[in-house]
Amino acid sequence: MQPMTHNNITSRETSHRKGILLAGGLGTRLAPLTQSVSKQLLPIYDKPLVFYPLSTLMLAGIKDVLVISTPDHIDQFKRLLGDGSDWNMHISYQVQAEPKGVAEALILAESWLDGAPSLLALGDNILHSTGLTGLLLDSVQPSQGATIFAFPVQDPSQFGVVDFDENGAAISLEEKPSNPRSEWAVTGLYVYDETASQKARSLSPSTRGELEITDLNKLYLSEKTLNVVRFPRGTTWLDTGTLDGLVTASEWVRATERQNGFKIACPEEIAWRNGWISREQLAAISLRYKNEYGAYLKRLSDSSKS
């Protein structure tokens, strides 16, 4: 999402952690836009929304990704992303028959994970920050427990909320509380050890009939193995679950890309800078797009020529 030094990901170990991208849900708040297409495939300026959380996983050095979506939409993602080979990744797919909560993603992914730790990203979240790559790489280093990420918001009652003691340690988690104990919302990015699927199976549905990700995180908190990373000042976190959120995100991406001259959440660029694909492969991909997106990839491949 930000410019990176070539090969800076491959120089660091991310163990065998796998990525889960949850792109399910009915998108009812965005109807009628979502009557025939997944909300995660709606455009955020110049690329589909799903490219943004996918890029976050890629910045964390993760090449094995499971996309979870609805029976009606799973084929749409397959047509867009394929098997990931264009980016030297491995992308698999899993159907979520009906929305039963974010934590269910870890149950659905259990056999695919095959005992591996995971990084779970929600398909409608956009993250951008100077130094994001390093922060993600540090967070996915092999360790026991879980890591979640917090961001200050004006109306925390719309999110999961984490509260801290005077030493900065997390002491409570609440899902959409009417009287929030802090301004710190939990973002849609979660790092879990290999016990997450088993823990998710132990959860009971909430009053909404869902397996709440907050309840899963509470289990780690009770075990004193929950780490909370507070995003630094200058971080942008956008939740695109509403029409205003979609428009705001598109306007922000457009303005940022035009101001800085680089693209945000461009999987081809990230794969190239990670050392996953060559300059020649990047140039070949650029020929598929007869627009500014393709021209951008071409400029990148040309700039790397010596």
User: Average model confidence (pLDDT) for the chain?
Assistant: 91
| The predicted structure's pLDDT at residue 129 | 85
| The predicted structure's pLDDT at residue 187 | 95
pLDDT tens-digit series, residues 167-222? 889 999 999 999 999 999 999 999 999 999 999 999 999 988 899 999 999 999 99
Q: Which of 6-10, 87-91, 228-232 has the highest mean pLDDT?
A: 87-91
pLDDT higher than threshold 50 for residue 2: no
| The predicted structure's pLDDT at residue 305 | 64
Bond preceding residue 99 cis, omega within 30 of 0: no
pLDDT higher than threshold 80 for residue 15: no
Please give the average per-residue pLDDT across 112-127, as a whole number: 96
pLDDT tens-digit series, residues 54-109? 999 999 999 999 999 999 999 999 999 999 999 999 999 999 999 899 999 999 99
Cα separations in angstroms, 288 against 86, 89, 131, 293, 300: 12, 19, 31, 10, 15
CA angle in degrees (0–180, nearest 5) for 34-38-39: 70
